[in-house]
Structure 1
């Protein structure tokens, strides 16, 4: 017995949903990197760690993780400075590099979710 199916593709809606899913995935990925970085950021009184933020520019589809402390860049770049055990220079760069696979998986999961 033949069966007939009708499919209506709503391209604009699909594009909006994919973009929203991508933005959610980027934010989740940025928050993941921030969490790992917070575990490695040099710590004395906790001020630098408290300035960490994760955000997404949905227009450009870029995620950002940043620390806003006045000495954040110097702490990040000074490889010769001593830090407490488990804390390190390059805390943000190393967090991003070590979590690429997890960030990609978070973004992919949100894109799949948007396609449902």
Structure 2
């Protein structure tokens, strides 16, 4: 624990961008976005085709993520599989409100609902 926070939560680290790092690199798309509370990595949720946020947590052993959706501030522990309240993280705290869900614009297939988990 540092400053009363559990290991794996660093409120000073900004997010890696406005979209899923891996989906953006590969030209993919996502349903919702999640933010690693340790390093700021933005990945796609487990409903998304590629599930990059969970893959990041598994590969790095970073234990917490936070929703990166506008109006949502819940935290998730990969270790306990439970939701938590947590501290305010460095801004921005969500993707831009004009970014569509699912997103990003122009990359979501018309039959996207058939591709979600």
What TM-score results when the alignment is normalised by the length of structure 1? 0.29
Give the structure with the higher percent strand.
Answer: 2
Question: Larger relative CO (CA 8 A, sep 6+): 1 or 2?
Answer: 1
TM-score (norm 2): 0.29
Greater Cα radius of gyration, structure 1 or 2: 1
